[in-house]
Amino acid sequence: MTVPFGDRLHAALNTWGPLCVGIDPHQELLAAWGLSHDARGVEEFSLRVVEAAHGRVGVVKPQVAFFERFGAAGFAALEKTLTAARQAGLLVIADAKRGDIGSTMRGYCDAWLSAGSPLEVDALTVSPYLGPASLQETVDTAYAAGKGLFVLAATSNPEAVGLQTSQGSEQLTVATQVVREAARAREDNLASDSGWGSVGLVIGATVDPAPYGLTPEGLTGLPILAPGFGAQGAGPEDIHRVFADVSDQVIANESRSILRSGPSLIAGTIESAAARYREVRHG
């Protein structure tokens, strides 16, 4: 039987702590690392990050856009990165933010969540803004395959605040409706030793949960992918401040603040950062 993603994530965070290393091969980072601004440079950069992350953290998150911009060669680099990460025993969250309906969304599921697919990952970020219920088939597919989803709920970009805090049916904010759908998916799929669902949420570490209507009670058992750590201003101590009673469910993503250390220092940077996050989580 396939182990649910929620259980695998729970085990990884207990072992390695909450730090997730973002693999974001920006043009300026490639230049700083002395690499070419092309698919070959992206591949070398990403494989070095995977090597540095191995044995130091449990989760990595490639940002798909930085591979996709180089077309077929970029996707080939991404495939090699995903394969290397899986072979290293890392959980991989593809930050692709897919969201569609019907056969189109099934195609995305086949690409990212199917066993043996060249782009197979452990979890995928998805957008609920065609209606949270539009993701139901994707949720069913993820659970059946032992995969995970992270649904955009309360993102850290300021342009999203008006939409995500606006109220819809039952006087609930849009973000709260997204959370309720994730909680319902967890309740419908209770074959989990850890009690964690395999459908989680994206909630920015720089976000105040209150205007979004988000409460610890509503988030219980839902993994939280939290961007905003490092270069965007949040630090390890903010996990407890922002997420309170559900802080153990947080995956703290850092990208630029780690990647800027360069190829010769990145392994040590990851190791020291991971230790700080573990101390906060277990301290």
CA separation for the pair 30, 36 (Å, rounded)? 6
- Which DSSP helix (H) or strand (E) runs through 196? none
Say which of 61, 80, 97, 147 is annotated catalytic. 97
Residues 6+ apart with CB under 8 A from 262: 32, 33
Residue 136 phi/psi, 5-degree rounding, is -60, -45
Would you list the DSSP string of 74-119? HHHHHHHHHHHHHHTT-EEEEEEEE---HHHHHHHHHHHHSTT-TT
Query: Is 97 labeled as catalytic in the residue annotation?
Result: yes
Tokens representing residue 194 in the block: 């850890």
Could you tell me where the beta strands, DSSP code E, fall in the chain?
Answer: 19-23, 59-62, 91-98, 123-126, 148-154, 199-203, 224-226, 250-254
Tokens representing residue 124 in the block: 């995928």
User: Annotated active-site positions, please?
Assistant: 97
